[in-house]
Amino acid sequence: MTLTQDGAHSSVDAPAQKRGMNLTLRIWRQKDPSVKGKMVTYKVTDISPDMSFLEMLDVLNEQLIMQGDDPVAFDHDCREGICGMCGVMINGEAHGPQQTTTCQLHMRSFKDGDKIDIEPWRASPFPVIKDLAVDRRAFDRIIQAGGYISVPTGTAPEAHATPVPKKDSDAAFDAATCIGCGACVAACPNASSMLFTAAKVTHLGLLPQGQPERDDRVVNMIAQQDLEGFGGCTNIGECSHACPKGISMETISRLNHDLLGALRAGARPKS
Partner 1 sequence: MPLELFTTGEPIADTKAPTDVPIGERWSERRFRGRLVNPANRRKMTIIVVGTGLAGGSAAATLGEAGYKVTSFWYQDSPRRAHSVAAQGGINAAKNYRNDGDSVHRLFYDTVKGGDFRSRENNVHRLAEVSVNIIDQCVAQGVPFAREYGGLLDNRSFGGTQVSRTFYARGQTGQQLLYGAYQALERQIAAGNVEQHARTEMLDLIVVDGRARGIVARDLVTGEISTHFADAVVLATGGYGNVFYLSTNAMGSNATAIWRAHKRGAYFANPCYTQIHPTCIPVKGDYQSKLTLMSESLRNDGRVWVPKERGDDRDPREIPEDERDYYLERIYPSFGNLVPRDIASRQAKNVCDEGRGVGPGGLGVYLDFAEAIERLGRPAVEAKYGNLFDMYAQITGEDPYTVPMRIYPAVHYTMGGLWVDYDLQSSIPGMFVIGEANFSDHGANRLGASALMQGLADGYFVLPATITEYLADGPFEKIDDAHPAAAEALQGVQDQVQKLLTINGTRTPASFHRELGKLMWDLCGMERSEEGLRKALDRIPEIRQEFWTNVKVSGDWHSFNQTLELAGRVADFIELAELMCVDALHRRESCGGHFRAESQTPEGEALRDDDNFAYVAAWEWTPEGQPPVLHQEALEYEYVHLAQRSYK
SS3 content of the chain, % helix, strand, coil (to 5): 35, 15, 50
Using the rule CB under 8 A, is 154 a contact of partner 1?
A: yes
Which of these segments, 135-143, 189-197, 230-238, 250-258, binds partner 1 (CB under 8 A)?
A: 135-143
Window 61 to 100, contacts with partner 1 (CB under 8 A) = 61-62, 64-66, 68-71, 73, 75-85, 100
Using the rule CB under 8 A, is 29 a contact of partner 1?
A: no
Residue from 10, 41, 113, 266 in contact with partner 1 (CB under 8 A): 10
H or E element: which one contains 249? none
DSSP 173-210: HHHHT-----HHHHH-TT---HHHHHHHHHHHHTSGGG
Using the rule CB under 8 A, is 156 a contact of partner 1?
A: yes
CA distances from 161 to 32, 110, 208, 254 (A): 52, 52, 11, 27
Residue from 42, 53, 110, 139 in contact with partner 1 (CB under 8 A): 139
Q: How far apart are the first and last CA of the chain?
A: 45
Using the rule CB under 8 A, is 254 a contact of partner 1?
A: no
In sequence order, the 6+-apart residues with CB closer than 8 A to the CB of 203 are: 172, 173, 175, 176, 178, 210
CB of 22 to partner 1, least distance (A): 15
Using the rule CB under 8 A, is 34 a contact of partner 1?
A: no
Beta-bridged to residue 115, according to DSSP, are 24
Residue from 95, 106, 214, 254 in contact with partner 1 (CB under 8 A): 106
User: What does the alpha-carbon distance between residue 157 and residue 72 come to, in Å, rounded to a whole number?
Assistant: 50
Which of these segments, 35-43, 111-119, 206-214, 247-255, binds partner 1 (CB under 8 A)?
A: 206-214
Residue from 90, 186, 204, 252 in contact with partner 1 (CB under 8 A): 204
User: What does the alpha-carbon distance between residue 49 and residue 110 come to, in Å, rounded to a whole number?
Assistant: 8
Main-chain phi, psi angles of 149, to 5 degrees: -115, 130
What type of residue sits at position 229?
G
Window 157 to 186, contacts with partner 1 (CB under 8 A) = 157-160, 162-166, 169-170, 172-173, 176-177, 179-180
Using the rule CB under 8 A, is 104 a contact of partner 1?
A: yes
CB of 20 to partner 1, least distance (A): 10
Minimum CB distance to partner 1 smaller for 16 or for 235 = 16
User: What does the alpha-carbon distance between residue 238 and residue 190 come to, in Å, rounded to a whole number?
Assistant: 10
Using the rule CB under 8 A, is 38 a contact of partner 1?
A: no
Residue from 130, 218, 239, 247 in contact with partner 1 (CB under 8 A): 130
